[in-house]
Amino acid sequence: MTDPDPVPPTEFVPTARGRGGAAATVDVRGTWAAIETLSHGGNAVDAAVAAAAVLGVTDPFSCGIGGGGFMLVYLAETKQAVVIDHREVAPQAMDRTAFYDAQGAPLSFDTLLTSGLSVGVPGTLRGWEEALQRYGTLPLADTLRLAILVAENGLDVDQTFFDQTTRNLERFRQIESSRALFLTAEGDPLPVGSTFKNPDLAATYRAIAEGGPAAFYQDEIADAIVATVKNPPFIAGSTIVSRPGLMEKSDLSGYEARVRPAVTSTYRGHTLFGVGLPSSGGLTGAMAMNLLGGFDLPAMSQSDALHHYLEASRLAYADRNAFMGDPEFVNVPVAGMLSAGYADERRLLIDPALASVAAAMPGDPFAYQNDPSGVWAGAGWSVSAGMGAGVDIDVSGDAPGDLDPETTHLTITDAAGNVVSYTCTIEYEGGNGMVVPGHGFLLNNELTDFNIPPTTNDVHPNVLEPGKRPRSSMSPVIVLKDDKPVLAAGAPGGATIITTVLQILVNHLDLGMPIEDAVAAPRVSQRNSGNATSNAEPAFLGSAEAMALEALGHQFADAGLIGAATAIQFHADGSVTAAAEPVRRNGGSAMVVEAE
């Protein structure tokens, strides 16, 4: 790989059409890193790692090596899709009692948020290593070069960076390492137009480039992570209640990424690849699409199509909330959930002309585990004895961390037709708020994605257990038609990730919107969270579609902006359109190798 242009562009362009490869991310420097990698001989997997490493510098409040993610890879040569699961895991010393106080009451989300107790063992670097060794063409060191350059040279603070710092200001002011990196000497956010540099992260990346992931998981960096988790670096007099974590160095050295089959389903002649458990995104999305496949959405008005989308989401989330967890700990009825017979049964609960007035109850997908009409096309799931039919479980909706609006998604393709749809995160905006001293990256608070029932005796498939991966909502998707990619997409947004991706699919596949319009369209999200109200963006409230849906009984609450998606549409002539947000998060960035 030859030396790249040392100065990345600064102009954010949300849509680009062309050939030779394409990328879309939330940040122009991340997209630039992907295109530079593609232009200098790398493939889509190499470019995804390079882009994600740069986003760890430029979008540090959403992703980075202190977190984890799910990378969905489509391999053009074999026409197969695989998932690199590098989700964070609970330390071995943690069991479900860790999230309860001495009286047995659940700890609040605010208590867990800025603590060592919420930190899962980071998986990002192991995921990058696994992806590159199996499917990439470049060594890890080469994919980190652009990120080192950006971290050393710095970047202009924009409005998004300023706003994210401001929202974390109360926390950062009370954490020595975070204050030193992100705030001025006076303890204020770096002003828009100033330069942000991260020499500590550059040095960390350089150590990893030289020593491989072992430098992170076994050496000095591992010691620093454990020290931060066990002794959070709060300033003297901090008002934050310190909750030290239970992570040991052995948790880091023992971390393993998983290579899993993609969740595979069909929709109106398309094949949909998604990510499976411990992410609920692929299964929940596939269940909703199975329900929608029984209605003629392309013949409907936009409001009627959205009505069916909302009702299908409600039913799919009822099963998600009740049954899904880490498949290495929980017996999840995957085949039953994705069977045609189960979809036919649940579809009867959707009234084409009337909204539901209460939360949906889960069905019994266990009864369809051996359904010969099943549409499940995955293989290789390994589950242990656990949940089963007839068990009384908590059917509550979002876990505490599910409400987080952050995370980031990038979408990339190369000239050979390989595709990567990759969602990565440190969970909450700013993670647990703690920069690892001397190393320049924030730690995650991913363990808040576990459900915390009222008592330690309550049963739920997504409760904390040693070595368990918390349920995720990440939903990278790749869509094929006639064995050729036609669309790849994904989004951030906690539990709203699934509905964002679903709505983009409905907008594009059913309503015929060009991908840039499908991404930009106002969003509405129904997650079966205990009442009939759906969350909606301000641009949706008061629209003709909203009023038509309200006439059917739907109710909406203002949720602010939902997610910041990216996508790539593949055209019949071999060209592609890369699309990022034109407005959300102040706009994203799309580029192609050869512009048309």
Task: Find the helix or strand (DSSP H, E) in which 461 lies.
Answer: none
- Report strand pairing: 477-481 vs 419-425: unpaired
Residue (of 148, 149, 150, 142) closest to 1 by Cα position: 142
Give residue 209's identity as a one-letter amino acid code: A
Residue with tokens 């034109």: 582
Residue (of 412, 415, 427) closest to 589 by Cα position: 412
- Hey, which residues does 415 pair with through a beta bridge? none
Residue 378 structure tokens: 């995955």
**Radius of gyration for the chain, computed over Cα atoms and rounded to the nearest angstrom:** 22
Give residue 267's identity as a one-letter amino acid code: Y
Residue (of 400, 425, 430) closest to 111 by Cα position: 400
Whether the CB-CB separation of 137 and 131 falls below 8 Å is answered with no
Buried b (16+ CB within 10 A) or exposed e, 161-174: bbbbbebbeebbeb
Residue with tokens 């849906």: 549
Whether the CB-CB separation of 567 and 503 falls below 8 Å is answered with no
Q: Would you give the end-to-end CA distance of the chain in angstroms? A: 25
Whether the CB-CB separation of 157 and 126 falls below 8 Å is answered with no
- The residue from 407, 408, 423, 500 that is catalytic is 407
Whether the CB-CB separation of 116 and 446 falls below 8 Å is answered with no
Residue 227 structure tokens: 């020290």
Q: What value, to the nearest 5°, has the Cα angle with vertex 445 and ends 178 and 209?
A: 65
- Hey, which residues does 58 pair with through a beta bridge? none
**Is 407 among the catalytic positions?**
yes
Q: How far is CA 209 from CA 8, 205, 214, 218, in A?
A: 21, 6, 10, 14
Q: How far is CA 555 from CA 356, 390, 516, 528, in A?
A: 10, 33, 27, 13
CA dist 156 and 58 (Å) reads 10
Task: Find the helix or strand (DSSP H, E) in which 22 lies.
Answer: strand 15-25
The contacts of residue 184 (CB under 8 Å, 6+ apart) are: 190, 191
Residue (of 22, 503, 476) closest to 260 by Cα position: 476
Q: What are phi and psi of 470, to 5 degrees?
A: -65, 145
Buried b (16+ CB within 10 A) or exposed e, 570-589: beeeebbbbbbbbebbebbb
Residue 177 structure tokens: 């390492």
Q: Annotated catalytic sites, by residue?
A: 407
